[in-house]
């Protein structure tokens, strides 16, 4: 039993009832995405017509914010139908509701690229993370380091939704 | 003293198993990198990563089964599509030794990679289902003895109504394939465009007339019934999984004389 399974196992049963991820809008792949400098600020509000890259940066900022604040509502709105995202949101909710904590500076995006299959590859440098699942519970340390995630997006009016999230082994 | 020592060892093992991956995972694992998001979401390995993992754990045996979604335990008849690196692939859960619980990562494999890893693909099973010989349905005609009357409801049925199973070995794994009759196409041999009938009903013996045909001409006809099978399979004693395609087995024709009857007065 490793940490990933330990933490997610308790969430697995109810999540099996959720709809499967996938089915990203291929129209998102019709605009090539240039990688922005990793130091660019994370946008927090959508422009009138949001590009996939802008949305992914805003979503990644939310990913960090929910861990810092425990407020997962906006992240959930941006991730409708994304099973992996909901697992994270549920885990964060569970930690905060049990009196646990999460300390992290989150992700620093190093690259975003669109693939021919309509998915997006998100490369980040993740800051070290410390968390406890409940008040007074065992403290876990996750090291910093590079990570590669794959997302699929679906157009949602003038913006997007993440419908699928998976980490790709390095 | 000994029970106390044993309890201590058990506690230590549990602690190590819980804490180990939190600090460092082996190279090639999603593991701890990626922060809490990396812990929560599913992890996908390419074929190369999967092979590297298996090579690094050569004291175990591994098997793969098609999975229908990222991060899910549910197995599928047709694996979900996935994309890693520069190629598309199919999603598989990976099992260690005889465990019924998959590992906490999934493999995105091309068809060739899946075959090399000994993974049964649905296509392989479907191919086996198609090439195996399944029973043709015998057609039973009433009235019997190869004669029936013109302008008379002739009754037809078949006794082939139950599933048939066969066991084959595919990629070194014992696979049981079961074929169940789900449809029948009746050829009454009357050379009329409307003389074929498709039913899910195998018919029944007299007096339960469920599949009948009324010949309007005398002569010799050759009725038969084709059988459409639906298939399912399982690996070893695993869960049954359906085979998407169906298979039709033609029936052997019977000889039937359609005759007219001349009324005769008979006395008591």
CA B11 from centroid of its chain's CA atoms: 44
The whole-number pLDDT of residue B80 equals 82
Q: Residue A60 is part of a domain; what is its CATH number?
A: 3.10.450.50
Compute the 3-state secondary structure of chain B and give helix, strand, coil in percent, each to the nearest 5. 20, 35, 45
Nearest to B35 by CA among A28, A79, A1, A91: A91
Whether B64 contacts B53, CB under 8 Å: no
Distance CA A35, CA B116 (A): 37
**Residue B28 reports pLDDT greater than 50:** no
A130 belongs to a structural domain: yes
Q: Residue A135: which domain range?
A: 32-37+44-168
What number is the average pLDDT over the span B147-176? 89
The whole-number pLDDT of residue B175 equals 86
Cβ contact B73–A12 (<8 Å): yes
Q: Does A75 touch chain B (CB under 8 A)?
A: no
Instruction: Provide the number of structural domains found in chain A.
Output: 1
A112 belongs to a structural domain: yes
Which residues lie across from A103 on neighbouring strands? A130
Local structure of A18: helix, strand or coil:
coil
Nearest-by-Cβ selection for A4 from B23, B49, B104: B104
A12 belongs to a structural domain: no
Nearest-by-Cβ selection for B39 from A7, A12, A85: A7
What number is the average pLDDT over the span B24-32? 46
Local structure of B250: helix, strand or coil:
coil
The whole-number pLDDT of residue B195 equals 75
Distance CA B137, CA B146 (A): 17
Nearest-by-Cβ selection for B28 from A142, A164, A170: A170
The whole-number pLDDT of residue B71 equals 63
What residue ranges define each of the domains in chain B, with the CATH number in brackets? 34-119 (no CATH), 126-259 (2.60.40.10)
Cβ contact A7–B40 (<8 Å): yes
Residue A29 DSSP code = G
A88 belongs to a structural domain: yes
Q: pLDDT band for position B268 (50/70/90)?
A: low
The whole-number pLDDT of residue B262 equals 77
A64 belongs to a structural domain: yes
Q: Does B52 touch chain A (CB under 8 A)?
A: no
Nearest-by-Cβ selection for A140 from B22, B38, B49: B22
What mean pLDDT is reported for chain B?
A: 80
Task: Name chain A contacts of B43, Cβ cutoff 8 Å.
Answer: 4, 166-169
Which residues lie across from B11 on neighbouring strands? none
Q: Does A119 touch chain B (CB under 8 A)?
A: yes
Local structure of B186: helix, strand or coil:
strand
| Per-residue tokens: A105 | 């500076």
Q: Does B48 touch chain A (CB under 8 A)?
A: no
* Interface pTM, i.e. ipTM: 0.75
The nearest CA of chain A is from the CA of B76 a distance in Å of 13
Nearest CA in chain B to A95: B36
Chain A, chain B: beta-carbon pairs less than 8 Å apart:
153
pLDDT tens digits, B180-198: 999 999 999 877 666 789 9
Using only the alpha carbons of chain B, give its radius of gyration.
29
Q: Does B219 touch chain A (CB under 8 A)?
A: no
Long-range CB pairs of B142-146 (<8 Å, 24+ gap) are B142/B205, B142/B206, B146/B254, B146/B255, B146/B256, B146/B257
Nearest-by-Cβ selection for B49 from A126, A147, A169: A169
The nearest CA of chain A is from the CA of B41 a distance in Å of 4
The whole-number pLDDT of residue B137 equals 95
Q: Does B16 touch chain A (CB under 8 A)?
A: no
Cβ contact B70–A119 (<8 Å): no
The whole-number pLDDT of residue A42 equals 46
Task: Name chain A contacts of B17, Cβ cutoff 8 Å.
Answer: 1-2
Distance CA B177, CA B173 (A): 12
Q: Which of A7-21, B149-163, B169-183, B231-245 has the lowest mean pLDDT?
A: A7-21
Cβ contact B35–A83 (<8 Å): no
Task: Name chain B contacts of A88, Cβ cutoff 8 Å.
Answer: 36-37, 40-41
Judge if the upstream peptide bond of residue B241 is cis by omega within 30 degrees of 0.
Answer: no
What number is the average pLDDT over the span B8-35? 40
pLDDT tens digits, B68-99: 777 665 666 567 888 887 788 888 888 888 77
The whole-number pLDDT of residue B72 equals 60
Between A21 and B149, the higher pLDDT residue: B149
Q: Does A168 touch chain B (CB under 8 A)?
A: yes
| Per-residue tokens: A165 | 């999230």
Nearest to A24 by CA among A169, A166, A170, A168: A166
Cβ contact B35–A150 (<8 Å): no
The nearest CA of chain B is from the CA of A12 a distance in Å of 8
The whole-number pLDDT of residue B108 equals 93
pLDDT of chain A along its 170 residues, tens only? Answer: 344 544 444 433 333 323 333 333 333 333 333 333 333 444 566 777 899 999 999 999 999 999 999 999 999 999 998 988 999 999 999 999 999 999 999 999 999 999 877 889 999 999 999 999 999 999 999 999 999 999 999 999 999 999 989 999 87
Between B207 and B1, the higher pLDDT residue: B207
Helices assigned H by DSSP within A28-157: 52-69, 73-78, 83-97
Task: Name chain B contacts of A141, Cβ cutoff 8 Å.
Answer: 22-23
| Per-residue tokens: B134 | 């399944």
Interface test with B, best of A148, A167, A170 (most B CBs within 10 A): A167
The whole-number pLDDT of residue B257 equals 92
The nearest CA of chain B is from the CA of A68 a distance in Å of 11
Q: Which of B20-34, B47-61, B85-99 has the lowest mean pLDDT?
A: B20-34
The whole-number pLDDT of residue B32 equals 62
Cβ contact B36–A104 (<8 Å): yes
Nearest CA in chain A to B105: A169
Q: What are the φ and ψ backbone dihedral angles of B239, each rounded to 5 degrees?
A: -70, 140
Cβ contact A12–B18 (<8 Å): no
């Amino acid at each position: 039993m490793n940490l990933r399974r330990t933490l997610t196992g308790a969430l697995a049963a109810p999540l099996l009832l959720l709809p499967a991820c996938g089915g990203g809008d291929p129209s998102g792949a019709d605009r090539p995405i240039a990688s922005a400098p990793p130091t660019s600020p994370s946008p927090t509000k959508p422009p009138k017509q949001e590009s996939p890259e802008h949305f992914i940066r805003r979503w990644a900022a939310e990913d960090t914010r929910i861990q810092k604040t425990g407020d997962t509502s906006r992240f959930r709105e941006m991730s409708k139908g994304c099973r992996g995202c909901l697992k994270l949101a549920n885990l964060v909710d569970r930690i905060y509701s049990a009196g646990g904590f999460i300390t992290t500076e989150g992700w620093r995006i190093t690259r975003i690229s669109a693939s021919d299959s309509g998915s997006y590859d998100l490369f980040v440098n993740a800051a070290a993370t410390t968390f406890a699942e409940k008040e007074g519970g065992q403290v876990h340390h996750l090291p910093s380091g590079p990570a590669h995630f794959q997302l699929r997006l679906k157009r949602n009016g003038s913006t997007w939704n993440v419908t699928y999230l998976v980490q790709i082994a390095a | 003293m000994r029970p106390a020592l044993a309890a201590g060892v058990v506690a230590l093992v549990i602690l190590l198993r819980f804490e180990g991956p939190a600090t460092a995972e082996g190279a090639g694992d999603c593991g701890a990198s990626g922060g809490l998001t990396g812990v929560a979401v599913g992890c996908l390995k390419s074929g190369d990563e999967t092979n590297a993992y298996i090579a690094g754990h050569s004291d175990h045996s591994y098997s793969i089964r098609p999975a229908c979604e990222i991060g899910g335990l549910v197995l599928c008849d047709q694996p979900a599509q996935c994309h890693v690196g520069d190629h598309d692939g199919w999603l598989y859960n990976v099992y260690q030794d005889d465990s019924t619980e998959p590992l906490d990562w999934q493999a995105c494999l091309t068809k060739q990679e899946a075959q090399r890893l000994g993974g049964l693909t649905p296509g392989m099973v479907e191919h086996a289902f198609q090439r195996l010989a399944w029973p043709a349905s015998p057609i039973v005609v009433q009235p019997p003895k190869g004669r029936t009357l013109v302008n008379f409801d002739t009754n037809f049925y078949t006794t082939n109504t139950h599933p048939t199973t066969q066991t084959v070995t595919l990629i070194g794994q014992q696979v049981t394939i079961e074929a169940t009759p789900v449809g029948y196409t009746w050829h009454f041999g009357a050379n009329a465009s409307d003389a074929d009938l498709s039913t899910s009903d195998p018919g029944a013996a007299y007096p339960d007339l469920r599949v009948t045909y009324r010949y309007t001409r005398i002569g010799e006809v050759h009725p038969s019934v084709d059988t459409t099978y639906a298939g399912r399979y399982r690996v070893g004693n695993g869960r049954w999984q359906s085979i998407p395609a169906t298979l039709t087995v033609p029936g052997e024709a019977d000889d039937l004389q359609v005759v007219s009857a001349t009324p005769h007065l008979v006395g008591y």
